[in-house]
Amino acid sequence: FDINHVDISINIPSVPVAGDVFNLSCVIVVPPNFVENLTSVRWTYDLEASRDVTSENNDATLVPVVRNGDIFTSVLTLDPVKTTDARQYYCQATILVFGTVDRTNRDLNVQIHPPSVSILADPPTGPIYESTSYLLTCTATVNTTIVDTPVTASVVWTDPSGNVMSTNQARRQVIPPTGNSLVSMLLFQPIDTGYNNDGGTYTCQMIINSGNSLIASNQASTTHNVTIQSLPPITVDFSSVGSVEVGQSLTITCTITTVERLVVTPMITFFKMNDTDMEMLSYLNRPYSITTDDTDSVTNYTLILDPVRFEDAGMYTCMAEFNVTGFNNTNDPSTATYDYQEDSDVFTLTVDFPPVIVTISKERDDTLYAGTPFFIKCDIMLDPLVTIPVTVTNQWTRDGTNVPVGLSDATITVDLNMINTLHYNATLMFYPLDNADDSGMYTCNVEVTAPNSYMYLRNTSASANTSIAVNAAPVPVLEIVSMGITELGEEYMLNCTVTVVDRLIVSPVITWTKRSANRVISVPPVLMTVSNVMSSLYLNFSSLNTSDAGLYTCEASINVSQISIVARSNEFWNLPLISKQY
C-alpha cells in the first residue's frame, strides 16, 4: 500500500466568464479504510510549487479541505474570475505516512466578459440631410478590472436590409478597429435618400478577442436608427454696412449658406458689372476677405470699399453652385448626381456724389428800393473727390416758384459761370428791382449730374436761400434856387435841383413851364448837370424884362419799367419897376 493507490484530479465544471465567482476543486481519493489525514494541499502555478496561488492572487481563497469517506476535496475560489486567471493550475497533496507528494495540473479557460457596445452619431442631434457626411462610431467598452489582459476587437456592421457591410465600399466606408482600439466607424460620404436609400436601422456587432488560447472571445451588439431628410436649398444673400457716398466707407458682404457637413464645397463666383465690362473680385484691386464659420456651412465674401470711389459703382453679382455625385466608377449607376443646387444674388451699388456746398450772398444789405439794380450770387463748391466730368445746373425760385427771366421778365437775368472744375457761381440780376414783384424768399437750387454713361451714379442736389424786401422808390425832392434880386435888363438864372434815391438806373426828366395869362408855355432849359443822386436844370434869362414875369414850375419825372413818379415845384415872380424878385 503506497502513494500509487492515491488518485488526485482537478475538477473544472465549466468555462467561467470573467467577473464570475468560480470554484476549482482538487479531489483526492485514498484507499478504503485509510485512517490517515492529509498533511497539506497546495494550489500553485508551477510544478516546483514555488508560486502559491493565494499568495500571488488576492482574489483567490482556499476553502478548508473537506473529507467525505475516502475522498478529500480542496476548493480554490476565484472571486471574481479575471482573464489573467486563465492559466495552468497545480494541486499538490502531501501525505506524511507515505512521506511523499502527489500532484496534478489542469488549464483554466476563461471567457471574456461581454463588452458594452454603444453607437454615437456625428452630428449627434438635429436633422440628417442627404448629400452630407454622416458618421456612426461604434465603441466597445470592457471592464478592465476583470478583463485585465490586452484584447482586440473585430466588427460586423449590418445595414437596414440585414446585409453585412464590406470594408471596401467608397461611399459607405466601414473602418474596422485597429491595434488595441475597440472603436469602429461607419462613414457615409455622402448619405443619400435617392438611388441609395440609407435610411433605417444599422447594427454594430463587436467581437472582443485575446491572443491567449485560454481566453475565449465574446461579443455584443447595438443598433442605431437613421432618418434622412431632403437637402434644403442653398442661399446667397448680399448685405452692406456703411455709406454709398463717394469718400465714405462701405462694406459689401455676400453670404452663402448651405447645410453643415456638405460633402462638396460650393463653387462661388463674385464679380462686378459696370457700364462697360465685367470684373472678377480678385481683379477689382480692392481689399476683400473670404471667411467661413466653424461649421463650414456659412461662407462670407466681403469686399471693403474704403473709401467709396466713383468707379466702384456697378452691379455686383454673387453666384454659388454645387454638384454632389457618387465616388464609384462611371459604370456604376450610383455615380449619378445626387444633388445639384445653385443660387445667386445681385447688389446694385449706385454711389452718391459727395455733398455739394452751396452758399448764397446778396450784393448789399442796405434798404432796397424799386428802380435800383441788385443781384444775388450763389457759390457752388464741388468736393475734390469729384474727378469725373459733371454738369452743374441751377434754378432760381422765389417763394417756391421759378423766377421768371428773359422774355417772361426782361428785368431779371441769370448767369452761371464755371470758375474751375470744382467751383461755379450763379448770379440772379435785377435791373431794376420792382417793389410789386421782387420781394420774397429766393432759393438757389443746384443739381450736379454725371454723363449718361455713368448709369450707377446718383445725381446730387443742394440749395441755399435768402430773402429780400423791396421798397417803393421815394418821390424825388425838388428845390428851385434863384439868383436873388436883380435889375431889369440884367442876366438872371433859376436852378431846379432834383434829388432821387441812390443807384436809380435812370435819370429824372426835368422840365420848366411858365403859366401866363391862363396859358402854359414850355420854357427850354439852357443847362443840365447830372450827378449820382442829384440832377439840376438851369433856366437862364440873358436880359430880364417885364414879359418874363409869371409862375414858373419845375417838374421831375421818373419812368423806369413799371415805375412812374412825378414831382413838381412852383415859383412865382412879381416884377417891380426897378427891381425884380420872385
Q: How far is CA 22 from CA 60, 75, 452, 555, in A?
A: 10, 10, 99, 151
The two beta strands, 128-129 and 228-229, are: parallel
User: Taking a C-beta distance cutoff of 8 angstroms, is the pair 55, 42 a contact?
Assistant: no
What one-letter code names the amino acid at 515? R
Q: pLDDT digits over 58-111, tens only?
A: 999 998 889 898 899 999 999 999 999 999 999 988 877 666 677 899 999 999
User: Taking a C-beta distance cutoff of 8 angstroms, is the pair 369, 472 a contact?
Assistant: yes
Please tell me the chain's helix, strand, coil percentages from 3-state DSSP, rounded to the nearest 5: 5, 55, 40
pLDDT at 476: 86
Q: Report the CATH fold assignment for 116-229.
A: Immunoglobulin-like (2.60.40)
pLDDT at 84: 95
The two beta strands, 215-216 and 110-111, are: parallel
Can you say how many angstroms the Cα of residue 222 is from the centroid of all Cα atoms in its chain? 47
User: Whose CA is closest to 460, among 360, 351, 361, 347?
Assistant: 351
> 109-138: b or e for each residue (b if 16 or more CB lie within 10 Å)?
bbbbbbbebebebeeeeeebbbbbebbbbb
pLDDT at 561: 60
pLDDT at 245: 92
Q: How far is CA 425 from CA 50, 158, 419, 572, in A?
A: 119, 87, 7, 57
Residues 6+ apart with CB under 8 A from 431: 373, 411, 412, 413, 505
User: Taking a C-beta distance cutoff of 8 angstroms, is the pair 442, 468 a contact?
Assistant: yes
Residue whose C-alpha cell reads 466608377 in the numeric block: 329
| Number of neighbouring beta carbons within 10 Å of residue 257 | 18
User: Whose CA is closest to 269, among 324, 320, 345, 342?
Assistant: 320
Q: What is the pLDDT along the chain (582 residues), one digit of tens a residue?
A: 455 677 899 999 999 999 999 999 999 998 887 777 777 889 999 887 788 999 999 999 998 889 898 899 999 999 999 999 999 999 988 877 666 677 899 999 999 999 999 999 999 998 999 999 999 999 999 999 999 999 999 999 999 999 999 988 888 999 999 988 999 999 998 898 877 789 999 999 999 999 899 999 999 999 999 999 999 999 999 999 999 999 999 999 999 999 999 999 999 999 998 766 788 988 888 999 999 999 889 999 999 999 999 989 999 999 999 988 765 444 455 555 678 899 999 999 999 999 999 999 999 999 999 989 999 999 999 999 999 999 999 999 999 999 988 777 778 999 999 999 999 999 999 999 987 789 999 999 999 999 888 888 889 999 999 999 999 888 888 888 877 777 788 888 888 888 888 888 888 888 888 776 566 667 676 656 667 778 888 888 888 887 777 788 888 888 876 556 666 665 544 433 344 343
pLDDT at 277: 77
Q: Report the CATH fold assignment for 477-580.
A: Immunoglobulin-like (2.60.40)
pLDDT at 541: 81
**Which three cell numbers, joined as nine digits, stand for 246?**
463717394
- Classify domain 3-110 at the CATH class level: mainly beta
What one-letter code names the amino acid at 10? I
The two beta strands, 337-349 and 314-325, are: antiparallel
Q: pLDDT digits over 183-219, tens only?
A: 999 999 889 887 778 999 999 999 999 989 999 999 9
Say whether domain 237-352 belongs to CATH 3.90.420.10.
Answer: no
With a threshold of 0.75, does the pTM exceed it?
no
Residue whose C-alpha cell reads 483526492 in the numeric block: 28
- Structural domain 357-471, CATH architecture: Sandwich (2.60)
Can you say how many angstroms the Cα of residue 489 is from the centroid of all Cα atoms in its chain? 105
* End-to-end Cα, the chain, rounded Å: 199
Which part of the chain is CATH 2.60.40.10?
3-110, 116-229, 237-352, 357-471, 477-580
